[in-house]
Structure 1
Amino acid sequence: MARFVLTRRSPLTAEACWARLTDWPRHGDRVPFTQVRVARGSGRRSGDAILARTRVGPVAFDDPMEIVHLQAPAPGRDGLCRLQKHGRVVRGWAVLTVRAIPEQGGTEVTWTEEISIAGLPRAVDPLVAVSGRAVFGRVLAHLLS
């Protein structure tokens, strides 16, 4: 499995960062050829489902994810969302955390993901990780701007 970690600082409050990070359809704004939607529930509770659908011409695949844990930030408590990927093409998990930094102002957001792509040998995991950092770095920059 390929693993990557992204950390970004934002002048926004933890609550504002959280609202943007869990606005699932906006994730698709910066993932090429991909639309993201809430497939079950509100997208704000454990057990809800998110679906990312990627299409390039006639080739398409789904990346279905389940929110297995979701805790919004609160005073003295970090926000945390753990997603489990259940697709035939993309498998793995992601953990999104939002931590207020009161002594410096603003918030720190961390995106940790471990994925495997069906049919790709483990030898390409470093390339998958670099690609993941690039794509989801753009997503984070977009969501937090």
Structure 2
Amino acid sequence: MTLIEIVREVPLTAQESWDRLTDWERHGEFVPLTRISRTDLGFVARTGLGRIGFDDPMDVVESREPSFCRLVKRGRVVTGWAELSVEATDDGSRVTWREDIHVRGTPRMLDGLTRASSTKLFSRVIDGLLA
């Protein structure tokens, strides 16, 4: 597993940051070749072209609106968990995205690459949603 943490301070209220971060379908706008659909327990990110691709199902296992959400990734390719938290600040809000991610079949010696690429990808998602 590879742990990443991304923190952003934005001039949005905590509620507005929360609403944007948990607009799950919009996450796909910032992840290449991916679309998001809701399920009874959370959502599924489908990444690929046509029939070639994979599903990344995520369950929302804890939600305390508008401050905390925990997701569990239970896919055949991507596993792990993510926690999104939002705190009010004097100037807006602080958003923290923590994720422990593992791509099945990837050896530990590639954890640095997984960390770097995941940080870049999820930074793009967060920055896009909060823009």
TM-score (norm 2): 0.96
Deviation of the 1:134 alpha carbon: 0.4
- Structure 1 regions of 5+ residues with no counterpart? 41-47, 74-78
In 2, Cα distance between equivalents of 1:34 and 1:115: 17
- Equivalent residue for 2:54? 61
- Equivalent residue for 1:94? 82
Deviation of the 1:59 alpha carbon: 2.4
- Equivalent residue for 2:100? 114
- Equivalent residue for 1:20? 20
TM-score (norm 1): 0.87
Corresponding pairs, count: 131
Aligned identity (percent) is 46
- Equivalent residue for 1:138? 124
In 1, Cα distance between equivalents of 2:18 and 2:42: 17
Deviation of the 1:37 alpha carbon: 1.6
- Structure 2 regions of 5+ residues with no counterpart? none
In the alignment, is residue 72 of structure 1 matched against residue 65 of structure 2? yes
Judging by fraction of residues, say which structure has more strand. 2
Deviation of the 1:38 alpha carbon: 1.0
In 2, Cα distance between equivalents of 1:89 and 1:144: 28
In 2, Cα distance between equivalents of 1:108 and 1:71: 16
Judging by fraction of residues, say which structure has more helix. 2
CA-based RMSD of the aligned residues comes to 1.0
